[in-house]
């Protein structure tokens, strides 16, 4: 068992993200995992993850607030406790268009080359 206290979770800085605060909860610099890693992102009002392709299978779970997800030109607003599965290679963007922060749990598969 490995516990990561939120107060000790290391920050990480994903490319193409603006106004987003991210912490790694499990995996990578937070401790080795085999199949996936987990992060927590806070999208402050106006924050954006610009359109890019998911490098691996990805799940977003909104814990609080709301974000707008755009996939293939289709917009969906995700609210607290909504989740979305994105296959590897999905072109997507995420934006907080509200005046409140949005909190998201991020789960991403490890690249096959890193899976034992």
Determine which helix (DSSP H) or strand (DSSP E) holds 36, and give its type and residue range: strand 36-53
Per-residue pLDDT at 24 exceeds 90:
yes
CB atoms within 10 A of CB 114: 15
What are the sequence ranges of the domains in the chain?
12-111
Q: What is the CA radius of gyration of the chain?
A: 14
pLDDT at 101: 98
State the Cα–Cα distance between residues 50 and 52, nearest whole angstrom. Answer: 6
pTM > 0.75: yes or no: yes
Per-residue pLDDT at 25 exceeds 60:
yes
pLDDT at 97: 98
Question: Hey, what's the torsion of the CAs at 75, 91, 34, 29, to 10 degrees?
Answer: -90
The DSSP secondary-structure symbol of 100 reads S
For 30-67, what is each residue's pLDDT tens digit?
A: 999 999 999 999 999 999 999 999 999 999 999 999 99
Which residues, other chains included, contact 57 with Cβ-Cβ below 8 Å and sequence gap of 6+?
85, 86, 87, 88, 108, 109
For 57-96, what is each residue's pLDDT tens digit?
A: 999 999 999 999 999 899 999 999 999 999 999 999 999 9
**Which top CATH class is 12-111?**
mainly beta
């Amino acid at each position: 068992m490995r516990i990561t206290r939120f107060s000790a979770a290391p920050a990480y800085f994903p490319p193409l993200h603006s106004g987003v605060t991210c912490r790694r909860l499990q995996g990578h610099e937070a401790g080795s995992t085999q199949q996936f890693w987990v992060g927590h992102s806070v999208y402050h009002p106006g924050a954006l993850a610009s359109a890019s392709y998911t490098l691996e299978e990805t799940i977003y779970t909104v814990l609080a607030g709301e974000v707008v997800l755009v996939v293939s030109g289709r917009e969906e607003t995700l609210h607290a406790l909504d989740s979305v599965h994105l296959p590897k290679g999905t072109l997507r963007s995420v934006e907080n268009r509200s005046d409140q922060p949005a909190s998201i749990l991020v789960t991403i598969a490890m690249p096959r080359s890193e899976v034992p």
